[in-house]
Amino acid sequence: MRAEIVIVGGGAAGLHVALEAAEAGTGVLLVSRKPLSESSSFWAQGGLAAALAADDSPDRHAADTLAAGRGLCRTSAVEVLTGSAPDAIERLQVRGVRFDAEPDGELALGLEGGHSARRIVHAGGSETGRVITSRLAELVAADERIEVLEGASATALWSDGSRCAGVVTDRGAIVARATVLSTGGGAALWARTTNPWGAIGAGSVLAHAGGAELADLELCQFHPTALALPGSEHDGALITEAVRGEGARLLDASGERFTDELAPRDQVTAAILDRIEADRTAQVWLDLRGLDPERFPNVFEVSRRAGLAPDSAPVPIAPAAHYLIGGVACDLDGRTTLRGLFAVGECACTGLHGANRLASNSLTECFVFGSRAARAAVDEPDRGDPPELPAWRFVPPTAATRAAVWRGAGPRRERDRLEALRDDPYPLARLIARSALARRESRGAHLRTDFPLPDPALDGVHVCVDPADELRLDRWI
């Protein structure tokens, strides 16, 4: 098969890049392993961050992002995101996405932890991801310049290590002048996760094997409030941060509040872990009483399906792996270190999120950086005949790997457990362990019991992994 641009992954980032590239007149082939309802994008609840309120500004959004990122954000990426976020929202509206509005017609803006202003744009109450991805998928299906290869998995990049000439899938190889990875995150590598099970960091593994650099792999954000119901299929189900913006309270075993519910995620997660340890329990409680179930339909629905009664009693919660901050290292136009290869969305690592992602910046990232990557991919020159097909193929992780990643690289990391993870059969698990061992400090989402404090010498320093598995500490501008 042949395409001008091939995109791997049909979540928010992949759908958006496809539409942007097609609108620029380019033919696109979108490879999607799973149905739409299995992307993280579909599941997103809270919304998208953008400085739209009269008392808000991109500078203020940037200041909040930098503060949450704990000295590790790439400032240029933060400026791009916060400066372009309002336009990205407008573009989605032009595409027909209907966000929730106030009675006067202005967009309804929610508040989430770490934000100093109301700036979370949402849809369908807490069904933002479903509303956006459904609309974008409709547009993709209707666009003649976009062909969708559904039910196909990318199993390797068509790369000789110096350039990427397309992708190998289980339905055949595809030659393209630009290849865009939008395969989502890797938080489902951790056994306790809020993510769909396909979020196994495939993009990072494919890119690494193909010859691209990865970065920040030690940084996985743990969401403070996931349902704690061990053994139940609902264990790990996300309770959006936005409920705390509307007054939900965190309570300990004796029913007392113990932390600021609207602090950034790393802080709330650490407070919950401390309280669980002090109380010798496995969970704390989130009090949703008094909230409007219609504002958060899926939060109340999932709680009830799990046998809980959120309107009359607090629900049990504990942290779960939520967002892999690290991924395929790329510049602000999605270009990776491998010619012809781009990365967008959660599989990409621009340095935007630093050591702790500010809530609701990631959906915005898919659209802001997706537009830039689409423009760069459209301009990518044809570099002639592809190289030989590589022999390497992707092998998914086992349940044992997922358990080992949670044990070794969970919310609190012990040196010997990280060292044990270095021998895991799944390449990304090994690289997460090595990167976490290389960051000899605690910062944001990365908490090491043997180095409990941040090291100021590591401000702005990223742990990068080259294709030969060598680690390097680097500063990005």
Ligand X SMILES: Cc1cc2nc3c(=O)[nH]c(=O)nc-3n(C[C@H](O)[C@H](O)[C@H](O)COP(=O)(O)OP(=O)(O)OC[C@H]3O[C@@H](n4cnc5c(N)ncnc54)[C@H](O)[C@@H]3O)c2cc1C
Residue reference for tokens 């970065």:
215
Q: Binding of ligand X at residue 157 (CB under 6 A)? A: no
Instruction: State in angstroms the smallest separation of the CB of 87 from ligand X.
Output: 17
Angle between helices 58-68 and 75-94 (to 10 degrees): 130
Angle at 458 between CA 457 and CA 459, to 5 degrees: 95
Q: In the stretch 426-465, what mask flags binding to ligand X with x, by CB under 6 A?
A: ----------------------------------------
Structure tokens at 21: 């590239």
The binder of ligand X chosen from 69, 236, 310, 345 (CB under 6 A): 345
Residue 218 in 3-state DSSP?
A: coil
**DSSP code, position 341:** E
Question: Measuring CA to CA, which residue among 80, 78, 96 is closest to residue 19?
Answer: 96
Residue reference for tokens 């196909």:
152
- 10 or 86: whose CB is closer to ligand X? 10
- 130 or 275: whose CB is closer to ligand X? 130
User: Which span sits near ligand X by CB under 6 A: 20-28, 31-39, 265-273, 426-434?
Assistant: 31-39
Measured CA to CA, the distance from residue 365 to residue 88 in angstroms comes to: 9
20, 101, 325 from 369: Cα distances, Å: 11, 26, 15
Instruction: State in angstroms the smallest separation of the CB of 173 from ligand X.
Output: 13
Q: Phi and psi at residue 266, in whole multiples of 5°?
A: -60, -40
Q: Report the amino acid identity of residue 200.
A: I
The binder of ligand X chosen from 69, 110, 198, 211 (CB under 6 A): 198
User: Which span sits near ligand X by CB under 6 A: 260-268, 361-369, 416-424, 452-460?
Assistant: 361-369
The binder of ligand X chosen from 179, 195, 337, 350 (CB under 6 A): 195
The binder of ligand X chosen from 50, 363, 374, 464 (CB under 6 A): 363
DSSP bridge pairs for 107: 101
- 129 or 319: whose CB is closer to ligand X? 129
Q: Binding of ligand X at residue 346 (CB under 6 A)? A: yes
**DSSP code, position 187:** G
Structure tokens at 136: 């974008």
Q: Binding of ligand X at residue 34 (CB under 6 A)? A: yes
- 8 or 18: whose CB is closer to ligand X? 8
Angle between helices 427-438 and 202-210 (to 10 degrees): 90
Q: Binding of ligand X at residue 372 (CB under 6 A)? A: no
Size of the site for ligand X (CB under 6 A): 44
User: Which span sits near ligand X by CB under 6 A: 277-285, 329-337, 339-347, 375-383?
Assistant: 339-347
Q: Binding of ligand X at residue 317 (CB under 6 A)? A: no
User: Which span sits near ligand X by CB under 6 A: 11-19, 78-86, 172-180, 447-455?
Assistant: 11-19
Residues 94-133, interacting with ligand X (CB under 6 A): 128-129
Q: Binding of ligand X at residue 47 (CB under 6 A)? A: yes
- 207 or 433: whose CB is closer to ligand X? 207
HEC profile for 115-180?
CCCCCEECCCCCCHHHHHHHHHHHHHHHCCCEEEEECCCEEEEEECCCEEEEEEECCEEEEEEEEE
* Residues known to be catalytic: 265
What distance lies between CA 189 and its chain's CA centroid? 13
Measured CA to CA, the distance from residue 405 to residue 397 in angstroms comes to: 11
Q: Binding of ligand X at residue 159 (CB under 6 A)? A: no
Q: Binding of ligand X at residue 44 (CB under 6 A)? A: yes
CB 435 within 8 A of CB 326: yes
Q: Binding of ligand X at residue 51 (CB under 6 A)? A: no
The binder of ligand X chosen from 5, 7, 8, 92 (CB under 6 A): 8
- 48 or 51: whose CB is closer to ligand X? 48
Q: Provide DSSP, 433-467.
A: HHHHHH--S-BTTB-BSSS-S--GGGTTEEEEE-T
The binder of ligand X chosen from 18, 154, 217, 243 (CB under 6 A): 154
- H helices of 183-322, in order, are 202-210, 242-245, 265-279, 297-305
The binder of ligand X chosen from 159, 182, 283, 298 (CB under 6 A): 182
Q: Binding of ligand X at residue 40 (CB under 6 A)? A: yes
Instruction: State in angstroms the smallest separation of the CB of 472 from ligand X.
Output: 25
User: Which span sits near ligand X by CB under 6 A: 101-109, 335-343, 360-368, 415-423?
Assistant: 360-368
Q: Phi and psi at residue 67, in whole multiples of 5°?
A: -65, -45
Other C-beta atoms closer than 10 Å to the C-beta of 220 total 27
- 240 or 267: whose CB is closer to ligand X? 240
List residues near ligand X by CB under 6 A.
8-14, 31-34, 38-41, 43-48, 128-129, 153-154, 182-185, 194-195, 198-199, 202, 238, 323, 345-347, 360-363, 366
